[in-house]
Amino acid sequence: MKEFINETLIPKVMRFVSTKPMVGFRNGMLYTMPFSIIGSIFLLLANFPIKAVSVALDNAGLTPYFNQAYGATFALMAIFGAMGIAICYVKEQGIQESLPAGMIAMASFILLMSSEMTETKSGNIIENVINKEWTGGKGMIVGIIVGLFVGATYAWFIKHDIRIKMPEGVPPNVAGSFTALIPGVAIVSITLIVYIIFDKFQTTFFDWIYKVLQTPLQGVTSSLPGVIIMGLLIPLFWFLGIHGSTIVGGIMGPLLTANSVDNKVILDSGKALTLANGGKIVTQQFLDQYMTVTGAGMTIGLVLFMVTLAKSSQYKELGKLSIVPSLFNINEPVIFAAPIVMNPIMFLPFVVAPVASGLLTYFAIYIGLVPMFGGVVVPWTTPPIISGFLVNGWQAAVLQTVCLVMTFFIYLPFAKKMDQITVKQEQENAAANN
């Protein structure tokens, strides 16, 4: 079994995640992270979890301005994603001048969107608009498709030297703009044809993708099986020595972010955030704060054992070194030094802890003990309990505390066994040295 994992499974997984489209997709989505955090800061200010502060900010007339800042950052995530993916895809192809690909991706993204909106009250049609309903989470899948398509097509043109070449002596910025002209015309023309085809059927590419692809995928991510799958896959990859958070997070992240944005839209409409109104239980906050908090596998339980109950010198020292990083959700020292990677004794708690925490959180939200998550996202390094409070108030902080305490008891019997083995090894080494 170990031979199959090391020689067959891991190489195949690594080949897949190392393909240029996957690397471009993963790295491109990282461009959205700063904007999601910036937007979340202003969203948090607009919906502050302490009522007295929230009322004071609202009375001061600041809330609309905070929402304006949110709308210029978090609400444009799909556009940032399309641009980032196109840029990173082109870079992976060895093309240094990648910014034009990102700009073409933005143009293609907007082109696929209807430029008309019907005013709710009067029924009048407003023209020449960019519909921000599609620029956030709702348009995320289209953003990914556009980014990959533009990146691949632009790179093909440049690699085949199908471009306008300027004479020597022309400034590089001028020459670069002409380099992008032919691929830009081709990509925009193809995008326009797609727009026309869907327009003839009185719909848009956005509507079609959302109904056919994104809605079902979001439904899966926000379901109980989706929680279990994420809870299993992330630690499983880490157990094999592969960065599971990057792989699974890269694929699921856009959908989970879209779930968060959908919940924010429901709140903005004045409706209650409930399942009946289309609310999503599983969001990016769900994964970050209740399934990977303190690191993949929720290893804070193991670290607490090392600090308080371990008898081996190795585990005591590792616990002291790991406790602070764990509080900031960094647990690579534990994963590789305990070790957890390829350690059959630690596999079960490493997988069970996030799954158990995810299930507990899912049912706590489902039965109404904890409200659904809105759009507030905090940096992944935010310490536990604080992060729970910021994303969803005191109920979420209490639930997070319960989940973290639970991980201690999940890891306890397995950590004791590993500690006993390590103590025996230390005694044998000491005896051999004497």
Task: Let me know whether 139 and 160 are in one domain.
Answer: yes
Tell me what pLDDT residue 190 has: 96
Tell me what pLDDT residue 89 has: 92
Cα dist. 338→129, 239, 306, 315, 344 in Å? 56, 12, 10, 7, 12
Per residue in 206-265, pLDDT (tens digit) is 989 888 887 787 777 788 888 998 888 888 888 876 667 767 776 777 888 888 888 888
Per residue in 165-174, pLDDT (tens digit) is 767 766 766 6
At 40, list the tokens: 């979340």
Say how many C-beta atoms besides its own lie within 10 A of residue 336's C-beta: 12
What one-letter code names the amino acid at 25? F
Total number of domains constituting the chain: 2
Task: Let me know whether 192 and 101 are in one domain.
Answer: yes
Kindly tell me the number of DSSP H helices and DSSP E strands found in the chain: 21, 2
Task: Let me know whether 198 and 232 are in one domain.
Answer: no
d(CA 270, CA 281) in angstroms, rounded, equals: 18
Domain boundary among 212, 242, 271: 212
Tell me what pLDDT residue 273 has: 86
Q: Which of the residue ranges 73-87, 163-177, 398-412 has the most confident prediction, judged by mean pLDDT?
A: 398-412
Mean pLDDT of 96-121: 86
DSSP-derived letter for residue 387 is H
For residue 47, what are the domain limits? 1-212
Per residue in 128-164, pLDDT (tens digit) is 888 888 888 788 889 989 999 999 999 999 998 888 7
86, pLDDT greater than 90: yes
Q: Could you tell me if residue 217 is inside a domain?
A: no
Tell me what pLDDT residue 13 has: 62
Task: Look over the chain and give the mean of its residue pLDDT values, rounded to a whole number.
Answer: 85
Domain boundary among 189, 212, 235: 212
Mean pLDDT of 180-191: 92
Mean pLDDT of 357-371: 93
Task: Let me know whether 246 and 322 are in one domain.
Answer: yes
Task: Let me know whether 146 and 167 are in one domain.
Answer: yes
Q: Which of the residue ranges 16-25, 329-338, 393-402 has the most confident prediction, judged by mean pLDDT?
A: 393-402
Task: Let me know whether 171 and 314 are in one domain.
Answer: no
Give the length of the chain: 434
Share of the chain above pLDDT 90, in %: 30
Task: Let me know whether 350 and 404 are in one domain.
Answer: yes
Domain boundary among 212, 238, 258: 212
Task: Let me know whether 108 and 231 are in one domain.
Answer: no
DSSP codes of every residue in 279-336: --S--HHHHHHHTSTTSTT-THHHHHHHHHT--SHHHHHHHHHHHHHHHTT--HHHHH
Cα dist. 151→34, 79, 112 in Å? 22, 14, 17
Task: Let me know whether 135 and 257 are in one domain.
Answer: no
Q: Could you tell me if residue 79 is inside a domain?
A: yes
Task: Let me know whether 196 and 252 are in one domain.
Answer: no
Give the bridge partners for 118, in sequence order: 125
Task: Let me know whether 240 and 372 are in one domain.
Answer: yes
